[in-house]
Amino acid sequence: MPAPVLHQGATVLCSHGGQAMPTVPDPRVLVSGMPVATLSAPWVVAGCPFPPPIAGNGPCVTAQWVMGAVRVTSLGQPLLIMTGMAICVPTGTPLMPVVAQTRVIAT
């Protein structure tokens, strides 16, 4: 299903409200003047309020996308899209894309 492409300035949150950002955006492809994000690079999560191990298994520290665009790639890696899937470590909860550019759509 077509969805907007995620980029470095997109708002992506962990399930607990922490802000996620790509560690290695791809500077070869720009959308809205920002580098796109690809499936291969991990994301870092900052500000996750989930309690540490004694009360829970958090906070979210990193995340890895497991599903992105099927037909659109950059440098051989699928681009990330708003309907993709990511898993946070160590909590195992998903990332939630909230805001991204709307001009470029990928499947």
**The domain spanning residue 56 has which CATH number?**
2.60.200
| Other CB atoms within 10 A of residue 26 CB | 21
pLDDT tens by residue, the chain, 107 residues: 899 999 999 999 999 999 999 999 999 999 999 999 999 999 999 999 998 888 778 899 999 999 999 999 999 999 999 999 999 999 999 999 999 999 999 99
Give the domain range for residue 16.
3-106
**The pLDDT value given to residue 58:** 80
pTM of the model: 0.93
- Domain total of the chain: 1
**The pLDDT value given to residue 16:** 95
**Listed residue (80, 86, 85, 40) closest to 63, CA to CA:** 86
